[in-house]
Structure 1
Amino acid sequence: MTSAPGPGPGSAVPYGTPDAPRIAVRGEAHLEVDPEIARIGITVTARGKDRRSALDDLTRRNAGIVDLVKSYGQAVEHLETGAFSITPELARRGRGERVRTYRGTVHLTAELSDFTALGELTTRLADLELTRVDGPWWALRPGSPAHRQARQQAVREAVQRAREYAEALGTTLAALVEIADIGAENARFVPPAPGGMRAMTAYGAPAPQEEAAPLDLEPERQHVYAQLDARFTIKPPKL
C-alpha cells in the first residue's frame, strides 16, 4: 500500500500544516461620509386641444427648463433627457372614442455637486407651471476616495485581527497567503444600491410676483462598507 505524495516545497495547499499553521480572518469597515453629488428628476408637462399645440407647448417649456438648469454652469455635472410622450386623453362621457385633449411629458435628470445651487434651482423649478421635481437622491461618485479608504481600512482591520490571534498563541504572523473580496471566487453581479433619497416632490404653479426663498436642503450622510477575507500563515507556536 502506498500513500499519496505530499505537497512539494513550493506548492500551496488549501489548509494549514503543523509547520505552517494558517489563520483565516475577515476584515470589515464602515464609513459615514458626506455625499458628493445629488440628482433630481424633472417632469415637464403640457396640454393642448390638438397634438401639435401640445407638442409646441411642451417644446417651449422643455427648452426653458434646459436653459435654466444649464445657467448654473459647473454646479450641474450632468443633464440628461429621458422618456418623452404625447398621449391623447379621451372624453369621459359620450359614446365612441373622442379625443378631449393631448398631454405631453418629458422627463429630465440633473446631477449637481453644488448643494447651495441645488436648493435654489429646485425652488425655481418648482415655481414653474406644470413642472414636477423629485428628489434629491444623494450619492457618492463611483470613483470616490471614500471607497478606497473603506477598502484600506478593512485590510488593516484584517491584519490586526490576525495578529491578535497569533499573539494569543504566543507567536507572530509569517506571511500573507490570500486576500479577496467577499464572494470574489463565485461572484454574481449585484447592482449598486442607489444613493440615499430624501423625498421631495414639488408641482409647479403659476409663478408669484416675488421669487420663493431657496429650499434649505440638508445632505444625507452616505454609508460606505467594505468586507474581505484574508488568510495568513503563522510561525509554529509552542503549545
Structure 2
Amino acid sequence: MTTTPTPYGTPDAPRVAVRGEAHLEVDPEIARIGVTVSARGTDRRDALNNLTRRNTTALDLIKTYGEAVEKLETGAFSISPELHKHGRGERIRAYHGRVHITAELTDFTALGELTTRLADLDLTRIDGPWWDLRPDSPTHRKARQQAVREAVQRAREYAEALDTTLAALVELADIGAENTPDHGYGGPARSMRAAAYGGAPDLADEAAPLDLEPQRQHVYATVNARFTMTPPELSPSTAR
C-alpha cells in the first residue's frame, strides 16, 4: 500500500506555514514627462516643415538641461489631412502633424522649470510628471529582504509558543514584490525648489517655473514560507 506524503508535515517533522509582508514608502528616483508637439499647414510640406522646426526647438530645449535628463526618446509621429466638412469629393483643407517625446529626469529641481518652458512653446502639450523608481532600485531588494525576515520572525514566534525551535526551511515562495505608484499628487512629499538651471537662456520674459512636489512611492513585497520544527513536547502548560 502506497502512502501519500502530506504537505503539512508529520509528528516527527511538523511544519509551520507563514506569510511575510513588507511595505516601504520612499522618495521617487525619476520623473517622466510626455511632450506632444503639433503643427498645421496648408499643404503636407508646410505641415512637415513646421513640425520639424517645433520638434527641434523642443528637443534642443530639453537637451540644455544636460545630465538632469537621463533619457530622451521620440515616440509616435503622424501627418494627417483634414478634409472639408461640406461639399462633394475629398477636398483637403489642411494637414496636421504631431510628434510625441518622452523625457526622463533625475534632477527634480530642474523639472518644474523645464516643464513650464516646454508648456510655453507654441502648439505644445505637456503630460505628467509621472514619478517612479528605477527597475533596479535597491528599494525593491530591501522590501523583499524585509518580507523574508518578517516570515522567519513570525515562524519563530509560532515555534516559541510551542516551546520549540525551527529546524529547516522547506519552501520560500515569492508571491509579489512590486512598485505601485498612483500617478498624481498625494501623501507626504518633500518640497522641490524652483531655480534657474545653469546654462539655460535668460528666463526674464518666461513664465514662472512650476513648483512640483515629488510623490512618495509605495513598494510592496510578500512571500509565503514553510518551515519544519523540532517536535514539541505538548505538556499541559504548553496546551494552555
Alpha-carbon RMSD? 2.0
What does 1:77-92 correspond to in 2, within 5 Å? 77-92=70-85
Between 1:121-130 and 1:208-217, the stretch displaced more is 208-217
CA-CA distance at 1:180 after TM superposition: 1.4
84-93 vs 53-62, greater mean Cα deviation:
84-93
Q: Aligned-pair distance for 1:88?
A: 0.6
Conserved 8 A contact 1:35-1:140: yes
Does 1:222 find its partner at 2:192?
no
Deviations 1:180-218 (A, max 9, x none): 1128xxxxxxxx77743228xxxxxxxx97211110100
What pairs with 1:78-227 in structure 2 (closer than 5 Å)?
78-182=71-175, 195-198=181-184, 210-227=205-222
User: Matched residues in 2 for 1:178 and 1:148: separation?
Assistant: 19
- Consecutive unaligned residues of structure 1, counting only runs of 5 or more, are 8-12, 184-191, 200-207
Deviation, 1:17, is 1.1
Aligned to 2:232: 237
> Are 2:13 and 2:229, in contact at CA under 8 Å, matched by a contact in 1?
yes
- In structure 1, C-alpha distance between the alignment counterparts of 2:158 and 2:112, rounded to whole Å: 51
Counterparts of 1:29 and 1:159, CA distance in 2: 13
Unpaired stretches in structure 2, ≥5 consecutive residues:
186-202, 235-240
Task: State percent identity of aligned pairs.
Answer: 74
Q: 2:120 and 2:128 mapped to 1: Cα distance?
A: 16
Q: Deviations over 1:137-178 (max 9, x none)?
A: 110000001101100110110011101111111111111111
C-alpha change, 1:229 and 1:161, in structure 2 (3 Å) is same
Q: Is contact 2:47-2:95 (8 Å) kept?
A: yes
- Residue in 1 aligned with 2:2? 4
The superposition leaves residues 104-150 of structure 1 with CA deviations (integer Å, 9 ceiling, x where unpaired) of 00001000011111111000001100000000111000000110110
Instruction: Provide the C-alpha distance between the structure 1 equivalents of 2:11 and 2:67, rounded to a whole number of angstroms.
Output: 62
CA distance in 2, matches of 1:5, 1:197: 54
2:54 alignment partner, SS class: helix
